[in-house]
A and B are shown apart, each in its own frame.
Chain A
Amino acid sequence: MTKTMMLLGAAGLAVAASGALADTSGKRIALSNNYAGNSWRQAMLQTFEEVGGKAVEEGVVGAADAYTTSENQATEQAAQIQNMILQGYDAIILNAASPTALNGAVEEACNAGVTVVSFDGIVTAPCAWRIAVDFKQMGKEQVEYLATRLPEGGNLLEIRGLAGVFVDDEIHAGIEEGVAENGQFKIVGSVHGDWAQDVAQKAVAGVLPSLPEVVGVVTQGGDGYGAAQAFKAAGRDTPLIVLGNRQDEMQWWADQRDANGYETLSLSIAPGVASLAFWVAQQILDGAEVPKDLTVPFLKVTQDTLDEALETTPEGSVANTVYSLDDAKGVISGAM
């Protein structure tokens, strides 16, 4: 989170406190979350608590409570949503365990007059709002960045996420598209790193001996550091690895930069998207007209912003942005 972002956030809150006070001060917003077991989700919950807590303190909304299911199961989260209806929340923001299996509960909520805003893990129920990340673009942008750095092209290694999850399919599709448009690149190997450094390291180490020279590695986040370690262990030159905003990845990047001027790009979704969902829900409760489908920009860390990002990211966490009310308004008007 940059300083300007923080200032913007503070300004946004001040505007909210004076502008929207009358309409939503009595409204209660709940966060339904299906999983809390990794650094990204922890950062997400923390951001929601900070932003929600402050909004409650300043009287923008009546309550902002976070609930997490214990077992990451759709049926459990459906029950959780139904409980929220009973608890009388006016809006539910939702990171869903399944895009479809919660639709019944979401419809119950809509029928009871509750506003439902899904983000990150979105739901397909037509009555809910969706704040989605353009994962496909995230994949494509990696290849486009490589094309600017390596105009002559070469062999690429792709590290994918968890098989069968829609995010993995989307990023992969984006990478394929990027490679199709930039014919100088060729994907010579593809492994599943499951968004975890240790898994990625093992997978890359396993496939490396069979690969020709690799000039670039396209990733999905959480796997770049492991890939770098595997290349190092195999005694190969470190290729250009696109990173995913994890603190260990950025630390490694900074060390490499100081040692030999290593340059790359890092991009991922900011866990602070929960705060964006919060403000969007507040805007809907406030009576603003909001399109059902919104897109959230992803967070990029470049050579210039690396030190700043590293400074504000706690060890073992993910680079984050806290979205303000103004950011939310910008995203809404951008989608109109």
Chain B
Amino acid sequence: MAEICCEVAAGSPDRKGECAGDAGGGRAARRRRMEIRRLRAVAEDQAAKRRRLEGDEDDVVRDPAPRYGVTSVCGRRRDMEDAVTTRPGFINGHHFFGVFDGHGCSHVATSCGLRMHEIVAEEAAAAAAGSSVSDEAARWRDVMEKSYARMDAEAVGSRETADPAPTCRCEMQLPKCDHVGSTAVVAVVGPRHLVVANCGDSRAVLCSGGAAIPLSADHKPDRPDELERIHAAGGRVIFWDGARVFGMLAMSRAIGDSYLKPFVISDPEVRVVERKDGEDEFLILASDGLWDVVSNEVACKVVRACLRSREPRGGERSSPTSSLSPRQSSGSSSGDEEAAAPSDGAASDSDGEGGEDKACAEAAILLTKLALARQSADNVSVVVVNLRRRPRS
């Protein structure tokens, strides 16, 4: 509990007091506060350096993190192979969201959930330090491509290194371990840009100006350009319960799956789009457990209605009346914070600070329930990020 709380606190430093108190002892709390302050100072210093390098907006640091909500449920599958990561402020002024849908076993998705944001942060720092490219979009594309390659190398090589004790069902012992992989859809929300990288059939959809705009294109083996790429590499796509690479994997790109290389690759497709204040409403990242049964348009309508129903101007708020503590869920093994629940102390309602948010969580949960009601047979993971900037306090 304290651990999660502190994670939140690190993301939004203003809430650290209560959390540190939770961890016990005023002195410990003070020490932690100092530490956080120190970290912040360092981070701000680096950010200042980076701003000089990047010619970025001058008040990146004060731009609060966006509000977001997450759900990740097992649903009708007997194995939980999805992992979700949310890291507001993972690098200064930038916020990381990722959905990873594993196949074969959960351990590649779990590694992605634990490591991808760290790798992206490292690559972004390296790019900022030694950058010769002035174009921000090109630099992010490069960062994401390098990050995915590193993530893939780690996932494939993790059988040898395997530092944290694996708890997945294959326990990384069987030779079949090569047959394990994961999708990865990652969104980095920056002060001026949205960066979306994708590999596999999870999806990111932007709702902007009332329209549902997919920011990633699913990597299905029968997508004409992917089919051509696979054929050019000497691979085959066989229709066996849908289009599959060699009749096996139903996606044409993935992290892991070393047995299907070079036909299945881990290169992401990266989109960098400029943020349009006033038009951009929110971003949805989800695994195919949602997209198989809910269209982009319907998903956007549902989220918009949820965010609208909680807007402060007048009207009643339909607050959840559950008397149960939804936080009991946190001991997850799906990689990261999952199933962020509303009506929780850590979830900000709509106050100035960014982070977990009731309206976004309600939207994510409603989409999940809709997917289950529509007989989705898969794990369902949904992240909703509100892109409306809040007025600074």
A and B held together in a complex: no
List residues of chain A with CB under 8 Å of any chain B CB: none
